[in-house]
Structure 1
Amino acid sequence: MKSILLCFGLLFISFLSPDISAVRADYRSASENQEEAEKLYTELASVSDTDEVLLLGYKGATATLMAKYAKGVSAKTAYFKEGKGLIEQAISTAPDNIELRYIRLSVQENAPKIVRYHKEIDEDKQFILDHYPNLKDGETKKYIKGFVSQSASFSEAEKQLF
C-alpha cells in the first residue's frame, strides 16, 4: 500500500514541475512575444530554489523578459532585479552547468546598458566554447548551438566550432 501511495505521489509531483524541453521552446518564443513571456512567467511562478536548478535559471531569465514588457521604471527594475538574482543564485548552485551559462549570456547580451549586467559575457562565452564539445545531451547541445548561431558574442570562426 505504501509503495502505491509513493508511486502516485511521485507521479503527482512530476506533473507539477514544468518539462524542461517545453520551457526551452517557450523561452525562445517569449523573447519575441509578450504573451508568451507572461505565460511562461506564470508557468514558472511556483518554481523555488528547491526545484531543479535549470528551472530556477529559466525563471530568472523569464523575469528579465518581463522587465522588457513592463510599464514603468519601477516595474521594469523589480522584474530585472528578481531575474538577475535568480540567475545568479542558480549559477552559484551549479557553476559548471553549461545551460545556465547560456541563460545568463542570453540575458546579458540583450540587457540594456543602463542595468549594468554585462560583466560575465566573456566568461560565459568562453565557458560555452570550452565545455560544449564534452556535452553529452543531444537536445541541450542542439539548443545551445541554435543560440550560438545567432549570438552577437561569438565570431563567425567560433560559430563554425559548433
Structure 2
Amino acid sequence: MKIFLALLLFLQVQTGEKSVVKAFHEAVDRKMETTFIKQYRNSKSPTVLGYVYSLEMKQAKYKFFPWSKLAVFKKAKRKLESLIAKNPENVHLRYIRLVIQEQTPAILNYKDKISADKSFLLRKLEEKDSSDYLDYYIKKNTSL
C-alpha cells in the first residue's frame, strides 16, 4: 500500500511539473507572466520556483528606468542562483538558467555558466528518465 501511495504521489508531481512547464512556455505577455508568478510564487518545489524566478527576471523589461530594470533582474537572479546552488542536479533549473543566459544582453554579465549548463543538459538529453518531456523544450529554446 505504501509503495502504491508513493508511486501515485510521484506521478502527481510529474504531471504537475509538466503543466507548470507548459504554462511557463505559454506565458508570452506581461499579463500571463504576472498571472503565472502570482499562481506559483508560494510553491515549495524548487523546479516551480525556478520558473517563477525566471519570469521575475523577465519583468525587468517592463521597467522604464535602467537602474530599475537592473534591480529587478539582479534580485530574481540571486534567488535563481541560490536555488541552483541548493539543487545543482535539477535539470529544470539548469535549463532555465541556460535559456536566460543565452537570451540576456552581454551588458548584464550573466553568461558565465553557459558551458557548464550545456554540458549538464547534454548529459541529461542522453539519459532516459522522468524529465524526458523537457527534452523538447531544451532543444527548441537553447542552442543545444
TM-score (norm 2): 0.78
**Larger RCO, structures 1/2 (Cα 8 Å, 6+ apart):** 2
Q: Does 1:146 align with 2:137?
A: yes
CA distance in 2, matches of 1:148, 1:67: 26
1:37 — aligned with what?
33
Q: Does 1:26 align with 2:23?
A: yes
- Whether the 8 Å contact between 1:60 and 1:85 is mirrored in structure 2 is no
Equivalenced residues, count: 130
CA distance in 2, matches of 1:88, 1:22: 23
| Structure 2: stretches of 5+ with no match in the other structure | 1-15
SS class of match (2:42)? coil
- Whether the 8 Å contact between 1:99 and 1:144 is mirrored in structure 2 is no
CA distance in 1, matches of 2:121, 2:41: 28
Identity percentage over the alignment?
A: 26
- Whether the 8 Å contact between 1:105 and 1:121 is mirrored in structure 2 is yes
SS class of match (2:88)? coil
Task: State the AA in 1 paired with 2:61.
Answer: K
TM-superposed deviation, 1:69: 2.4
CA distance in 2, matches of 1:111, 1:80: 10
TM-score (norm 1): 0.71
Task: State the AA in 2 paired with 1:33.
Answer: D
1:159 — aligned with what?
none
String of CA shifts for 1:100-151, please: whole Å, max 9, x gaps.
11011011111121110011111101110012222411xx322232331342
Structure 1 vs Structure 2 CA RMSD? 2.0
Q: Where does structure 1 differ by over 3 angstroms across 4 or more consecutive aligned residues? A: none
CA distance in 2, matches of 1:83, 1:144: 25
2:3 — aligned with what?
none
SS class of match (1:84)? helix
